Amino acid sequence: MIRNALIGLMLFILGSAFLTLTMGFEPATELNRTAAYYATHAQEEVGAQNVVTAVLITWRGLDTLGEVTVLFLTAAIVSLVLSRSKAPKGASGSGFLPSGELLTTGTKMLLPLIALLGAYVMANGHLTPGGGFQGGAILASGALLMLLADPSRRFGHKIIHRVESASGLAFVGLGLLGMLFAGGFLDNKLLPLGQFGALFSAGIIPIVSVLIGLKVGAEFASILESLEETEDA
Amino acid sequence: MAQVSLLIGFTLILLGLYGALTNRDILRMIVSFTIADAGVNVVLVSVGYMAHRTAPILDSAVPAGQAAARIIDPVPQVLVLTAIVIGLGVTALMLAYAYRLFRLRGSLDISQFMDLKW
Amino acid sequence: MTLLMLATLLCGAGMIGAALVALLTRQTATAVLAAGLLSLFASVLFVLLAAPDVAMTEAAIGSGLTTFLFFYVLGRIRREDKK
């Protein structure tokens, strides 16, 4: 009883705070200084059409590196927590029934298309909506489809881990190369900016975008895989 | 427009917190947390919204010269982009721990776990 | 502008309805599905709020992968509960 009253009280206080925030909210009519800087300098400094990707990969690239690291830690902890006992080889860890003909055939047809879409979204991150994180998630959903179609098949752990560490290393390496040959860590001027709006433009953004996509996709795939392959209690 | 979506986001946060506080099943609590998570994202994006402006992409519709007057604030969008990805990581961690707890006790009822209660 | 407003209101109604279903239903599987539906509505709302990048991320991660993570754990717990 007291518990419910306390919960109600807390939600009421929080709700009234939210209500005053909403009532007092004035939508801005001008960009603030940071956003205006990003908007006006996106073309000459970074050369990317998509300002969101430009901010994510160049101006705030270090934060993105940190975020990818957090994701890596999550994947590592999930596999540490779950994988005390891996299912023996050949046995289905998750114990799902074998999937039907439809799903197996559909997977074979869809998987290349999904991988293609993922690669497109990753490589065009500086031109259209999309980028590393979205493309990585699309790749991971392809891996998920594979797991669903054939639950007893073992994923190549080694491949996933190698892709993950290689892309992470290359990301950091590009950043360090920027320190040596350009203005600073993850500086975009390492490669020429190229023509505004072309696929191979905007300095290192497409490369970093693909690297982030591979890393994020590998991390999600390894989370899914450790959830799937743990042996039943 | 921005105010409406702010209100939607805040309502979702409140609903999610209510569910997380009142449910006894750990999985249901995690579902409620994801609802609150979505609410926070909606609030952040709608703070950056400005009427009569377009998405922060400089194509032929938005020449780079007048970008500052035509696009909306890209910074909250970047923030939310990372928040969604980290949100999935947090959910995966919570689910892994919930599964470990289930293996330990054979139950997902939060009132069964009294070890730290006094 | 009014059309945009109407779409926003519809999306918001869908989101809050899905959240209520997720909170009030008895079955956990229904709750997980409702949370996935909420994420889909959220991604439509992000498009309306002129944030296509966020909408893509939410659609791929929030409503796709999260739902499947939940179902993996849920199915596992159900099977072990029966034993």
**Chain mean pLDDT for chain A:** 80
pLDDT category, A155, cuts 50, 70, 90? low
- CB < 8 Å to C80, chain A: 232-233
**Partners of chain A (3+ Cβ pairs below 8 A):** B, C
Residue B24: pLDDT over 90? no
A231 — pLDDT class (breaks 50, 70, 90): low
- Tens digits of residue pLDDT in B47-85: 888 877 777 777 777 776 776 777 888 888 888 988 898
Select from C49, C74, C76 the residue whose CB has the most chain A CBs within 10 Å, as the one to mutate to test that interface. Answer: C76
Q: Which of A55, A83, A120, A134 to mutate to test the interface with C (most CBs of C within 10 A)?
A: A134
Rounded percentage of chain A residues whose pLDDT exceeds 70 = 86
- B 41-100 residues inside an 8 A Cβ radius of C: 41-42, 45-46, 48-49, 51, 53-55, 57, 72, 77, 80-81, 84-85, 87-88, 91-92, 95, 98-99
Between chains, do A77 and B93 touch, taking CB under 8 Å as contact? yes
Nearest-CA residue of chain C relative to B11? C16
B100 HSE (CA, 13 A, CB side)? 15
pLDDT of residue A109 exceeding 70: yes
CB-side exposure of C71: number of CA atoms within 13 Å?
Answer: 15
Beta-carbon contacts of A12 under 8 Å, excluding residues fewer than 6 positions away, are none
Query: How high is the pLDDT of residue A90?
Result: 47
Q: How many residues does chain A have?
A: 233
ipTM: 0.87
Cα separations in angstroms, B82 against A45, B105, C61: 23, 35, 11
The confidence score (pLDDT) of residue C27 equals 87
Cα radius of gyration rounded to whole Å, chain B: 20
pLDDT in tens, A7-26: 889 989 999 998 888 888 88
- Pick from A43-47, A214-218, B12-16, C48-52: least confident: A43-47
| Domains of chain B, start order | 2-53+72-112 (1.10.287.3510)
Is pLDDT of B92 > 60?
Answer: yes
C-alpha span between B42 and B76 (Å, rounded):
10
| Contact between A163 and A170 (Cβ < 8 Å) | no
Which residues on neighbouring strands pair with residue B109, listed in sequence order?
B25
Identity of residue A52: V
pLDDT beyond 60 at A96? no
> What is the model's pLDDT at position C38?
92
Tell me what pLDDT residue C17 has. 92
Domain chopping of chain C, boundaries: 2-82
pLDDT value of residue A153: 66
Report residue B33's pLDDT band, with 50, 70 and 90 as the boundaries.
very high
Instruction: Count the Cβ atoms, other than its own, within 10 Å of residue A84.
Output: 10
Q: Which residues of A134-144 are buried (b: 16+ CB within 10 A; e: fewer)?
A: bbbbbbbbbbb
Query: Mean pLDDT for chain B?
Result: 84
pLDDT higher than 60, residue B7: yes
What does the domain layout of chain A look like in residue ranges? 45-229
Pick from B2, B22, B88: which is nearest to A7 by CB?
B22
Question: For residue range A172-187, what is the model confidence (pLDDT) as tens digits?
Answer: 888 888 777 777 777 7
